[in-house]
Each structure stands twice: as structure tokens, then as C-alpha cells.
Structure 1
Amino acid sequence: MVALLASGTESYGYGEGHDRAPGPSAGTPSGGASGSTLTALATASRIKVTQTKGSSGTSAKPLAPVDPNWSPPACWYEPVSTPQQLKDAVDRLKKNPNGHLVPVTPTLSWGEQLMVDHYEKGTAKNGSGAGYENYNLGKDGMFWRGVINPNRRNDIASADCERTMFWQNARTLPDDKHAPTPDVLAAYAYNRIDVPQTQVELKPAVKSTVNAPTWVWLDEADFQEVKVRAELPEAGVWAETTAKPIALHVGPGTSDAETHPSSGDCVINDDGSIGAPYASGEAGKTPPCGITYLRATNGRPYRLKASITWQISWEGSGGSRGDLPDGTFETTQDMAVQEIQSVNR
């Protein structure tokens, strides 16, 4: 039996003196005082992620995209503050000018005077667009700011969300390519898909015989799809990403072997299983999924590889839907092969 286990940034200185200051390394997202997220790390996302279907727990592991050139978004914009929260943050600065500066981009923070001029008095600052009167108090909406994907914080593309914190009316998305549209949330959810531990049955389990096939199969009950939902409630946008298992690939770990089928790709059956369980009397038959070793091991076992391919699709708010690259996870198992001919039992 093979156990298949599926495979902060920076606080920022740009205050009154326009000095950049190193900040803490990325870690658990943290926020500012009084429930405000204005002083949160650049990687502190408000996206709510929920696994809605499939097993989880300590044995669950993330998938790796089959396409090595694909990656989730490096950054995006999110609502970060109500008008009152922004005013409260600036009021705290007025009382304590040496306190937390207010990040206005993932890498840029402003002190009291810049915040007052831009968000209270309506004076545009540093090419940041038109300012705001009295923090837009009384208006229906939120201020938005860029967020960096913690898995890509060292990627140059993470610098693409440096727009100064801006206003967005309620129940609308920014007209920006880095807006958190459903496809962006779906790709974000991809990184949060954890597939459960899966047991792949082998017969023989750990020792095979030259020219006698090893049967490989996976029961339907161990081959369930996984769903992960990502949503931004304040923006009214969501996406649910589904990982559906579609195939098992077996690799014998040596060129002196034949796989069944020859590609090593064992497709899913109509009932959701893969391959077929070995039954007594079938030792001489070719399994629908398996391996026949042609040479015995000599003190050093072969490393049998087994990987499951998961097909990734998504659907989201507004009737949107699409596909993402397949995911996979691979594990290995030692297989000893003997010369003596014997019948599987």
C-alpha cells in the first residue's frame, strides 16, 4: 500500500521625512488598534477562505500546478478601511505623531501631515490623484489598498499594486487589472486547496516478482473532489475553486519495466475508481493499471512513483466560471523485485 500525501512583509516608512524603514518579515497577518486593518502587514488579506467540500486535517497537503509557468496573482486591491476607521487612525496620529504611520500602499506609509492634507483637506499629494474631503464620512463605500500575495512577496510583479489608498463606492470593483475579480479569487483559492491523504492499493504491496505484474488501484471512496471558496464580503465578490481527481500516473523507477497502460496514466473509471483490485487467479492477466518489472533489484529497491492529477475549475459571482492548470502531487515507495516466479495471492 502506498500512502499518497498530496504534495509580511514589510512595514514601511515614508512618513513626514520620506524615509523608508525596514519592517518585520512576513508571518501571521496582524492589524492595527481598535480593530482597524490600516496598519496591517502588506500580506494581510481580508479574503475569507473556506473549504466547502473534501477532507482536511494534518494529512492534507497542497497541490503543485502541472504548468510550471503558472502562478497565482502576485498582488491585488482590497477594501481596507471605512471612512470612520481612516479618521480614527489619523486622529491617533494627531495624538501620537510617533505612533504607527498609515500604509497607503503595500510599501509606502504616510505620517500625520500627509494624511490630513490628502484625506481630510482634499489636497492631492505626490501624484496620488485627487484628495478627499473629511475622509468621505457619510459616503457609502470603503478605502482600498494593495495586498501582496505572501507566496510571491519577493516577485517583482508584487510591486504592481502601488496605487495610493483610494476610495471605491460600495458594491463595486475598481476599474483596474488588479481588482479582486472572481478569476483572481479563484487563483488565490488554488493555493489553499489541500487534498487529503490517499491510499493507493498495490498487490504485491512492497515486493514484486520479475515478469509478474503488480496491480495498482484506487477505490472511489478515496478519490473525492475538493472545493475551496474565497470571498471578499465587503466587495460582494466570490469564487469557488474545485479540484477534481481525474487520473493516477505510475512510474516504476527503472527503465527495466513496463507500465500498464504503457503511458503510465491510469484514467478514472465511470464509478470514480482507478484501475481494478487484484483478485485471486488473475496473476497472469495484465492489469488495467499496474507495472511489470523485467529485472530484479540487487540490494537497492526501485523507487516507484505515484501521482494523482487533479483537474481545477472555478465558478464565481456574476455567473463567471473558468479553468485553471491541473494540479498534482507525487510520492514514492520502495519496491523490491525478486527473480523467483510466484503467484500473487
Structure 2
Amino acid sequence: MHEVARRGSIGVLVAILLLAEPSVAYAGGGKGKGALNGAEAHGGKKNGKYHAEVSHVQITAGGDRGGKTVKLNPKDPDWEAPACWYEPKTTPKELKEKIESAKPEKRKPEKDEDSGTIFGDLEESNQKAADAVANQVVGLYENYYQTEKYDDYNIDKQGKGMFWEGVRNPNKADDPKADACSEHAIWVPKGKPPKSMPLAVSPKILAQYAYEELPIPGTELSLNPENKQTVNLDTWVWLNKGKFKPVDVTASLDLLDGTHLSATTTAKPTSLTLEPGTDDAKTYPGSGKCVVKNGQLGEEYSVGKKDKTPPCGVRYLRASGQNGSYPLKATLTWKIAWKGSDGSGGDLPAGTFSTTKNMTVKEIQSIVRD
């Protein structure tokens, strides 16, 4: 059969088999550790859609993951973490068992409550047709890995390398772009990482994946005055120094030959941009962009600063009206950099997260006495 007809990964084979037997899980059958918190993840169906087994990449957070965290929005709208990549997944023996276990006769038949009825006969007929298709597909893969491309799944090379397979980014399990890693499992000799394989796992890919796992705290503003803003009175704005500090995440993967790949992605807060929500306001500084100074974004207010101008803040020039408010938008920008276990490294697109706080601004009430 023409090569085009055989294109696709083991995952495509399993997707077809899933149509024949809805209860069948991913042919790999094993339990893989998820990327976060050691959560177990399997292949199979999710929300009615086929999804591949997750990556073996492990995530370790260097910062405090306590409390609510948020995901950054890359400033570069065209940048995104890879939806998939290739990594070592199976030995020759495991691949052979994986494919052979997908044969219909290897699966346990389920009890059919409609047996003997017209519905039962129809279901049996459909199952036989599906099994026939499944056997044909399994046969194609058996031929490919037994004779056409390899010699009996490279069993004689057991321990001398691994088959690399496409895996989906756990955060993009249903992303169609993950189909970019849909080639057949590819044999890679021990100690010879693939240089020409597209999207082969590397420190840079690990760093890009880790970008999405950064434990970024939600942008919670500290204000003074906190709840009662007054026309022509400065409001000081700052961020908690202990909470808004550099955070990092390490993504790592151990290969069969003892090679350890990892990348640490670090995020550092660099600026806070204030948008008052009305033209009748003044920001400090005038650009509205507060930068880090002495490791602090903004400056905490104290009584001794009563007559000083805030380095980061806002002054409203008009009351927000009865039962009204101004939406003060605060956007925190984080600089992102990474460093790989092989000495590689660089910058990734800066990321932002925005929050809005409704500001009620009142006029100063005064009493005139005769």
C-alpha cells in the first residue's frame, strides 16, 4: 500500500479502534504521570474526543504555588507554547505489545443485554465490521514495524535505543495543532538524540512548555485610601513585595540512556501600568507605567508621606457620580527568561495579566457656618 495510506501515528490507529470498542483505552495501556502534581493521566476519550497519552515531562515549581495563580498572556500575539513534541516513549518490546494488544481478539467482549433482539443483531453486525477494519489497520502497523521499515520492531536492539512518539502538551490536549506530531513512532539509537526530527523534545521546548506552568499570583492591588477615593486626593498604589517577586518552573525529562534534559523558566515582574478608567484623572507617573524600584512596584503609603506625591498612583479629578464608579485597570508585565541543562537559554515573550478594580470617587463634603 502506498506510504500516504499508512501515514499517522499509533494514536490514529487507536482512534479507529476506539470507534470499534468505546470502552478501549489508549493502546499504550499504561499509566503516565501528568505534568502537574504527579496526576495520573491516560489515553482514551475525553469529552467524546480522542486524546493521546500525556508526556512524561515532569514540572517542578520553584516559587510558592500557594493561593490562586493565573496564566500570562504573551505580549507577542503570534507566540504560543508548542501543542505537541516528540519524546522517547516505548522500547521495541513495548511497541510490539502495544500494537498486538490492539487486535480485536485481544479485547474482552462485553456482555450484550440486547443479545437475541433485532438491536442485538445489528450491534453484532456493526461490531464485526468494525473489528474487520481494526484488523486491517493493525495489520498495516504490524507490517510497517515487522518488515517494511524495521526488523521485528527492532527487538534485537532492545536496550540500545527507544521509539520516539508524538505527545500532546497536557495543556492543549484537544488542540488540532497537536496533530503536527502524528508521524509513526521513530527509532532513535541510544545516545544519539534526533537532530532532524521536527519538534524533538529539547531544553527550549521544555522551557516553552514551562511558560504555561509559571505560578503567577493574581494582580491584587494595595491602595491608600483603600475604599474611599476623594476628588483631587492622591491614591497610592503598590504591590505586596513578598508576593510579587520572581517565580520559576523547571520542566525535566529523563531519557533511557541516562541523559537528563531540563529547562528552568523564570518570570520577573517589571512594570505595572495603570489605566484610571476615565479621562478626568491623573496618573503617577504621567505615563501610568510604574517600574520596579529597589525590588518594589510602587511604594507603600505611611503617615509621614502625607504631603508627598506617590511614585505610583492615581488622582481622580471628578466624582464618579451617585452609585457610579471608575474601572481602574492594572496590568502587570513579567519578563520571561529560560536556561537549559545543556547551557542553552534566552528570553521568551514577556507576559501580562490584568485586573480591574471599581473605584468610587466622592466630592469632599464641607459645612459652611455663619
TM-score band, normalised by the shorter chain?
0.7 to 0.9
Task: Name the counterpart of 1:252.
Answer: 276
Counterpart in the other structure of 1:203: 224
Counterpart of 1:115, as a letter, is Y
User: Does the 8 Å CA contact 1:212/1:283 hold for their aligned counterparts?
Assistant: no
Letter aligned with residue 132 of structure 1 = D
1:48 equivalent to 2:72? Answer: no
Cα distance in 2 between the residues matched to 1:231 and 1:132: 32
For residues 89 and 99 of structure 2, what CA distance do their matches in structure 1 show?
Answer: 14
Tell me which residue corresponds to 1:104: none
Deviation of 1:291 after TM superposition, in Å, equals 0.2
Are residues 1:116 and 2:117 paired?
no
- The answer to whether the 8 A contact 1:38-1:81 is kept is no
- How far did 1:203 drift? 0.6
Taking the aligned partners of 2:307 and 2:135, their CA distance within structure 1 comes to: 72
Segments of structure 1 that go 5 or more residues without pairing to the other structure are 1-9, 100-107, 124-129
C-alpha distance in structure 2 between counterparts of 1:205 and 1:80, whole Å: 54
Q: Partner of 1:135 in structure 2?
A: 154
Asked if the contact 1:55–1:195 (Cα under 8 Å) also holds between the matched residues in 2, the reply is no
- TM-score when scaled to structure 1? 0.79
Task: Tell me what 2:300 maps to.
Answer: 277
Which letter maps to 2:73?
A: A
Work out the number of aligned pairs and report it: 311
**Matched-pair identity in %:** 40
User: Is the counterpart of residue 80 in structure 1 residue 80 in structure 2?
Assistant: no
| CA shift for structure 1 position 193 | 1.2
Give per-residue Cα distances to partners, 1:232-279, cap 9 Å, x unaligned: 212632111011111222221111111101111111112x11222222
**Contact 1:247-1:309 at 8 Å conserved across structures:** yes
Moved over 4 A (4+): 10-15, 18-24, 34-40, 108-111, 150-156
Q: Distance in 1 between matches of 2:247 and 2:216?
A: 7
Tell me what 2:192 maps to: 172
**Structure-1 residue corresponding to 2:355:** 331
SS of 1:330's partner is: strand
Deviation at 1:48, TM superposition (A): 1.1
Q: Shift in Å at residue 77 of structure 1?
A: 0.7
RMSD in angstroms over aligned alpha carbons? 3.3
The SS at the match of 1:220 is: coil
Per-residue CA deviation, residues 14-73 of structure 1 (Å, 9 max, x unaligned), is 48xx8894998xxxx97743558996642511111111x211134122222122221111
Counterpart CA distance in 2 for 1:87 and 1:246 is: 52
Contact 1:12 1:21 in 2 (8 A): no
Question: Which one of the candidate residues 292, 297, 317 is aligned to 2:320?
Answer: 297
Specify which structure has the higher proportion of helix. Answer: 2
Using structure 2 for the length normalisation, give the TM-score.
Answer: 0.74
| Shift in CA distance, 225/141, structure 1 to aligned 2, threshold 3 Å | same
Contact 1:93-1:111 within 8 A present in 2 as well: no
Higher-Rg member (1/2) = 2
Q: Match of 1:102? A: none
Unaligned runs of 5+ in 2: 1-8, 33-40, 45-50, 109-133
3-state SS of 2:213 partner: coil
